[in-house]
Amino acid sequence: MDLSVSSSSLVPFSLSLHSNAPKLLRLSRTSTTFFRKPPSISRQNKLAIITAIQVSTQSENDDFVLEDVPHLTNFLPDLPSYPNPLNKRQAYSIVKKNFVSPEDVVAQNVVIQKESPRGVHFRRAGPREKVYFEPEKVRACIVTCGGLCPGINTVIREIVCGLNNMYGVQDILGIEGGYKGFYSKNTLMLTPKVVNDIHKRGGTFLRTSRGGHDTHKIVDNIQDRGINQVYIIGGDGTQRGASLIYEEMSMERSHSLIHLVLFYNHLFMKEVKKRGLKVAVAGIPKTIDNDIAVIDKSFGFDTAVEEAQRAINAAHVEVESVENGVGIVKLMGRYSGFIAMYATQASRDVDCCLIPESPFYLEGRGGLFEFIEQRLKENGHLVIVVAEGAGQEYVAAEGHASDKKDASGNKLLLDVGPWLSDKIKDHFTVFRKMAVNMKYIDPTYMIRAIPSNASDNIYCTLLAQGAVHGAMAGYTGFTIGPVNSKHAYIPIARVTERQKTVKLSDRMWARLLASTNQPDFVASEQES
Ligand SMILES: Nc1ncnc2c1ncn2[C@@H]1O[C@H](COP(=O)(O)OP(=O)(O)O)[C@@H](O)[C@H]1O
Ligand SMILES: O=P(O)(O)OC[C@H]1O[C@](O)(COP(=O)(O)O)[C@@H](O)[C@@H]1O
Ligand SMILES: [Mg+2]
């Protein structure tokens, strides 16, 4: 590909500086060098070149991809910018490199082979030289949605303190009770003083809810209240909602919808224009299940794994002290068994870990019953950790099936814990004539209702500050999160397109199998 185009020939593209978002920029290895090198070309033209390359080379075998996030100037090209007030902050004045370069990107794959493509990259998070908001004109709001998770209060606190202390923003509203809170008249005024101590408490200071997302009503409300920065803390469902809010705010041509309207039996085509508002929408991913794609790990996860140790330890102490003790600890994890897997690995007292991703079976050769009997013979006791989403098909098959959903549309799970305890008890007493001492512990809500630990607190601070920097810099429709330990701005749609699950072919699951020595139910089933 020839990249020796003169910068002047690219001027017509310069208006599309931030256009076509979320955009996919594909650059070949030569173009990457070009991307970094010529200092004589202005930033605007450099980005114009990138846009030009995007237009001309998407179908080629390119190897550098920037999955960029939208910017307010995509649909408001004349938006003025201002020098970042952090320049004047004492704390930042001693930082060697105050601002993140617009060319800094974070690689999604850090382990690559010499000849392999460079792959997908995201924009690095952090403060930018120019901001698109004057602090005294910012009216921000924060909302928390979905289930609880340790650290939500720390994120709220650090958004408020970050906006206030770093940028001098004074007008920050707390929307209470999740998305529904947008329809209510009342909001909370959030100041550093109001949120000073909240990180020491579990839960969410702003309260939360499931269901009730109405994009139009929410955006109407944001518009009516004169809010221009929206910080949305929540899981995959919340981020989907955030994406719809962003789309309604923006005015991308690709987002204009043609609606078919049936009116007195005539079909009309109606183009629905989006609003083109100067409102930055920032998502902060929250989930105890750690099932959000792209990011390394969600906040509060480490705290939850640590808290799960207490339950596992209790189960172990109990079963160790009795004859034929069988401990079962049920942990959260709807579709992803990360908490169960990490809690098992951390504990070393767990004999078997059951997760939704790895089907298991009870009877026959290589089954769970055989394994339990063997461990009882060897050690006199055992501990099983079961993720709530595991074995759902078995519980359902026994006539407990239900299609019930929560208010957000998430399938309500059947309770695998008591089902598994009963099955084990029945099998050993009735069929094996062997009394087992069953100790069943369900700490599911306990592990997510606690305050975050020290490392999660730091993580929450980085997320909150990164979100504030991104919104102040005019980015919108993004989710912030660590990618290979570097915080990045990720297009919201990218984190909601699929749920992250435990990959059975990854080394982490193999490590677990190697440490518990539990049956690999798949292999055993095939052998028998
Ligand atoms: N596909 C979706 N589109 C719009 N809003 C959604 C969607 N899925 C969930 N939401 C909203 O996001 C909020 C939280 O979703 P939920 O699935 O309960 O939790 P989480 O965000 O933790 O996954 C709810 O208010 C729900 O209505
Ligand atoms: O009982 P609740 O509050 O609806 O939540 C239960 C569910 O919430 C979770 O903790 C996480 O769900 P979200 O991340 O979607 O909020 C699941 O592990 C669990 O199944
Ligand atoms: Mg969810």
- What average pLDDT does the segment 102-129 reach? 93
CA 489 to chain centre: 12
| Least confident interval from 3-12, 34-43, 204-213 | 3-12
283 Cβ closer than 6 Å to some ligand 1 atom: no
Quick check: 104 and 488 in contact, CB under 8 A? no
The amino acid present at 387, given as its one-letter code, is: A
- Cα–Cα distances (Å) from 477 to 191, 296, 497, in that order, read 25, 20, 14
What pLDDT is stored for residue 62 in this prediction?
A: 64
At residue 129, the 3 state secondary structure works out as coil
Quick check: 483 and 294 in contact, CB under 8 A? yes
Give yes or no for residue 58 having a pLDDT over 90.
no
Pairwise CA distance, residues 243 & 237, whole Å: 10
Mean of all residue pLDDT scores within the chain: 86
Pairwise CA distance, residues 213 & 73, whole Å: 27
Backbone angles phi, psi at 161, to 5 degrees: -70, -40
203 Cβ closer than 6 Å to some ligand 2 atom: no
> Whose Cα sits closest to atom 9 in ligand 2?
147
Q: How confident is the model at residue 55 (pLDDT cuts 50, 70, 90)?
A: very low
Pairwise CA distance, residues 228 & 277, whole Å: 8
Annotated binding-site residues read 147, 210-211, 235-238, 287-289, 332-334, 388, 445-448
Q: How confident is the model at residue 5 (pLDDT cuts 50, 70, 90)?
A: very low
What pLDDT is stored for residue 410 in this prediction?
A: 93
Tokens of 81: 């910018």
What pLDDT is stored for residue 273 in this prediction?
A: 58
The amino acid present at 519, given as its one-letter code, is: P
Strand stretches in 88-199, DSSP E: 105-107, 119-124, 130-131, 139-144, 171-174, 188-189
481 Cβ closer than 6 Å to some ligand 1 atom: no
What pLDDT is stored for residue 88 in this prediction?
A: 83
Give yes or no for residue 13 having a pLDDT over 60.
no
How many A from CA of 237 to the centre of ligand 3? 5
Give yes or no for residue 142 having a pLDDT over 70.
yes
Annotated binding-site residues for Mg(2+) read 236
Give yes or no for residue 272 having a pLDDT over 80.
no
Q: How confident is the model at residue 8 (pLDDT cuts 50, 70, 90)?
A: very low
What pLDDT is stored for residue 98 in this prediction?
A: 79
Q: Complex ipTM, two decimals?
A: 0.98
For 321, counting Cβ atoms within 10 Å of its Cβ (0-12 exposed, 13-18 middle, 19+ buried), the class is: exposed
What pLDDT is stored for residue 399 in this prediction?
A: 72
Give yes or no for residue 327 having a pLDDT over 90.
yes
- pLDDT per position as a tens digit, 368-404: 999 999 999 999 999 999 999 999 999 999 876 778 8
Pairwise CA distance, residues 299 & 297, whole Å: 7
Give yes or no for residue 16 having a pLDDT over 60.
no
370 Cβ closer than 6 Å to some ligand 2 atom: no
Q: How confident is the model at residue 266 (pLDDT cuts 50, 70, 90)?
A: low
Catalytic site includes residue 426: no
> Whose Cα sits closest to atom 20 in ligand 1?
235
Q: What percent of the chain has pLDDT over 70?
A: 82
Q: How confident is the model at residue 179 (pLDDT cuts 50, 70, 90)?
A: very high
What pLDDT is stored for residue 96 in this prediction?
A: 64
What pLDDT is stored for residue 348 in this prediction?
A: 95
- pLDDT per position as a tens digit, 478-527: 999 999 999 999 999 999 999 999 999 999 999 999 999 999 887 554 45
Give yes or no for residue 274 having a pLDDT over 60.
yes
Tokens of 418: 């008591």
Q: What percent of the chain has pLDDT over 90?
A: 76
- pLDDT per position as a tens digit, 254-264: 444 444 545 55
What pLDDT is stored for residue 245 in this prediction?
A: 97
Give yes or no for residue 236 having a pLDDT over 50.
yes
Give yes or no for residue 365 having a pLDDT over 70.
yes
**442 against 49, higher pLDDT:** 442
What pLDDT is stored for residue 90 in this prediction?
A: 75
